[in-house]
């Protein structure tokens, strides 16, 4: 491909700013490889394996220290076994309507990275999936950062929630309940400024072999709660009992509720606190 082809590609197709899609990836470095994994991901893969790709326009890394891992629930989770698995969470926004274009690039570049010895093998993908955006619910209405700012704004914490419904129709009911009732009530007066809601999409058949196919494509919703305070300061008051509320509504069950704090780029801060 010549450089002229890039000018042609840039002149066609969607190029809005909405986070129409997201890559959400929760990874567990193997014991003894925490420092090496952190440096590889931050110094190389975050850029070459994500941010340098077309149509990814924002990204941020988050970490769960052992103290944060122990706040997770439910104990028996369909997402992580044990529920404490998964130290590092990375989230990326993709331009709406560009998922297919991006996916062809990401499969190609990851095959190249693997061939060139630039894929760190001593890690396990706990929860890795591309998602389509379904809704964003704001605490303060039109005030404050929008969802396309969320990965650049200096939020103090993030909570990852995965809810499983009984089927596709029930997921639509769950989404409507979340948007109109549950999330507005939970956000009011809380340190969470917004919640973005996504549904997972299947990975292509030529994905990398170390990433398993996405489960719950027709039944799950993935929620990201963006927090203005450290989740350790508000976990009991804001997030305890969410599973009971979802179950009581009869629309699904919470399979994963986990708090994170942002990493500090260029450092190994928090690596010693993972175990």
Per-residue pLDDT tens listing for the chain (275 residues): 678 888 888 899 999 999 999 999 999 999 999 999 999 999 999 999 999 999 999 999 999 999 999 999 999 999 999 999 999 999 999 999 999 999 989 989 999 999 999 999 999 999 999 999 999 999 999 888 999 999 999 999 999 999 999 999 999 999 999 999 999 999 999 999 999 999 999 877 665 566 667 788 899 999 999 999 999 999 999 999 999 999 999 999 999 999 999 999 999 999 999 99
- pLDDT value, residue 210: 60
Ramachandran angles phi, psi of 265, nearest 5°:
-55, 140
- pLDDT value, residue 212: 67
Q: How far, in Å, CA of 30 to CA of 28, rounded?
A: 6
- pLDDT value, residue 208: 59
193-to-119, 259, 267 alpha-carbon distances in Å:
35, 15, 27
pTM over 0.85: yes
Kindly tell me the burial class for residue 41, based on how many C-beta atoms sit within 10 Å of its own C-beta (0-12, 13-18, 19 or more). Answer: buried
Question: Which CATH number applies to 17-262?
Answer: 3.30.70.100
- pLDDT value, residue 216: 82
- Sole residue written with tokens 């052992």: 66
- pLDDT value, residue 207: 55
Residue-by-residue DSSP string for the chain: --THHHHHHHTSS----SEEEEEEEEEEEPTT-HHHHHHHIIIIIHIIIIITSTTEEEEEEEE--HHHHTT-B-SS-SS-SSTT---EEEEEEEETT-HHHHHHHHHHHHHHHHHTT-S--SEEEEEEEEEEEEEEEESSTTSS--GGGTTTS--SEEEEEEEE-SSHHHHHHHHHHIIIIIHHHHHTTSSEEEEEEEEEEPPPTTS-TTSPPPS-TTTEEEEEEEESS-HHHHHHHHTTTHHHHHHHHTS-EEEEEEEEEE--TTS-TTGGG--
Asked if residue 56 lies in contact with residue 102, where contact means CB atoms within 8 angstroms, the answer is: yes
- pLDDT value, residue 12: 92
What is the largest distance, in Å, between two alpha-carbon atoms of the chain? 58
- pLDDT value, residue 20: 97
């Amino acid at each position: 491909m010549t450089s002229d082809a890039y000018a042609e590609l840039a002149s066609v197709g969607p190029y809005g700013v909405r986070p129409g899609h997201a890559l959400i990836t929760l990874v567990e470095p193997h014991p003894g490889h925490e420092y090496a994994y952190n440096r590889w991901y931050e110094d190389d893969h975050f850029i070459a394996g994500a941010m340098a790709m077309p149509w990814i326009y924002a990204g941020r890394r988050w970490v769960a220290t052992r103290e944060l891992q122990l706040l997770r629930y439910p104990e028996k989770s369909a997402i992580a076994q044990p529920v404490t698995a998964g130290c590092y969470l990375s989230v990326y926004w993709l331009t709406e309507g560009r998922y297919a274009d991006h996916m062809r690039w990401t499969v190609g570049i990851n095959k190249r990275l693997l061939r060139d010895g630039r894929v760190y093998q001593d890690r396990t993908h706990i929860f890795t999936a591309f998602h389509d955006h379904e809704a964003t619910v704001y605490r303060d209405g039109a005030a404050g950062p929008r969802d396309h700012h969320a990965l650049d704004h200096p939020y103090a914490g993030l909570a990852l929630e995965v809810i499983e419904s009984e089927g596709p129709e029930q997921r639509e009911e769950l989404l409507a309940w979340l948007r109109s009732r549950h999330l507005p009530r939970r956000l009011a007066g809380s340190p969470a400024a917004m919640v973005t809601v996504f549904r997972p999409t299947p990975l292509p058949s030529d994905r990398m072999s170390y990433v398993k196919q996405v489960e719950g494509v027709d039944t799950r919703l993935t929620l990201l709660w963006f927090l203005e305070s450290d989740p350790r300061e508000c976990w009991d008051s804001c997030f305890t009992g969410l599973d009971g509320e979802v179950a009581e509504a009869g629309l699904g069950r919470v399979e994963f509720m986990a708090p994170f704090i942002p990493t500090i780029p260029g450092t190994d801060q928090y690596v010693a606190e993972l175990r």
